Amino acid sequence: MSDRLYFRQLLSGRDYASGDPVATQMVNFAYLIGDRETREAIVVDPAYAVGDLLDALAADDMRLTGVLATHHHPDHVGGEMMGFSLPGLADLLAREQVPVHVNREEVEWVRRTTGVSATDLAAHDHDDVLTVGDVEIRLLHTPGHTPGSQCFLVDGRLVAGDTLFLEGCGRTDFPGGDADAMYRSLRWLADLPGDPVVYPGHLYSAEPSAPLSSVRQNNFVYRPRNLDEWRMMFGQS
């Protein structure tokens, strides 16, 4: 499948939304994933300059067939939150009517944040598989940062959103966050077979990706040996 897989990691403020001060500060990653033979592709977490992301697909002769959202925060999907507004899903759907694939627990959060209709959102459960051409993307429910956070496993790559960074993990003190759920999600991801390469939702490290085995060894979130130690690290005990 590696020969057919189309996979691009794009950094906000550099590869798209160039010159946007918020995009540059937030250092989000968006991802383009598809099948080189059928030319079908999806975009993961479109925010800021969605036109730039669509232009990148067009330049590669790829056709957008859907969107994958890791979670509802506006730096990933656009919308209103905490007094600011960012372009995202609503702007993309105004140009391209495609399904937006979200975890079932995140549907209402995404709808409220972005203003898109519930009919635009395709709800998924843990371990569902989304097929783009002949490329299979496994959807993994990893709550903690938000109730319906999800990661995507495709051909030895783990697109981890804000669940797991190369250094650290997503915050759990936002609405819907759950530190205990984050611990369980991180432990579950640590046991994924095959040592997939982790592609995070932000560039919070020197490198943009790393094998899961390296992340397990070097990321401080894997130091706690049990939930009690994890709670101590988060100041909950």
pLDDT(221) > 60: yes
Q: Which amino acid, one-letter code, is at 27?
A: V
Which pLDDT score is estimated for 82?
A: 64
Query: Can you tell me the distance from the alpha carbon of 125 to that of 195, in angstroms, rounded to the nearest whole number?
Result: 23
Burial state string for 153-168 with b = 16 or more CB within 10 A and e = fewer than 16: bbeebbbbbbbbbbee
pLDDT(235) > 90: no
In the chain, what are the domain boundaries? 5-233
Which pLDDT score is estimated for 217?
A: 97
Q: pLDDT digits over 66-115, tens only?
A: 999 999 999 999 997 667 789 999 999 999 999 999 999 999 999 999 99
pTM: predicted TM-score of the whole model, two decimal places? 0.96
Q: Which amino acid, one-letter code, is at 232?
A: M
Report, as an integer, the average pLDDT of 198-213.
98
pLDDT class of 233 with cuts at 50, 70, 90: confident
Beta-bridge partner residues of 35: 5
CA angle 62, 70, 116 (to 5 degrees): 80
Reduced to 3 states (helix: H, G, I; strand: E, B; else coil), residue 129 is strand
Which pLDDT score is estimated for 80?
A: 78
Helix (H) or strand (E) segment spanning residue 75:
helix 74-77
Average pLDDT of the chain, as a whole number: 95
Q: pLDDT digits over 21-80, tens only?
A: 999 999 999 999 999 999 999 999 999 999 999 999 999 999 999 999 999 999 999 997
Report, as an integer, the average pLDDT of 129-138.
98
pLDDT cut 90: percent of the chain above it: 94
Tell me which CATH code domain 5-233 carries.
Answer: 3.60.15.10
pLDDT class of 236 with cuts at 50, 70, 90: low
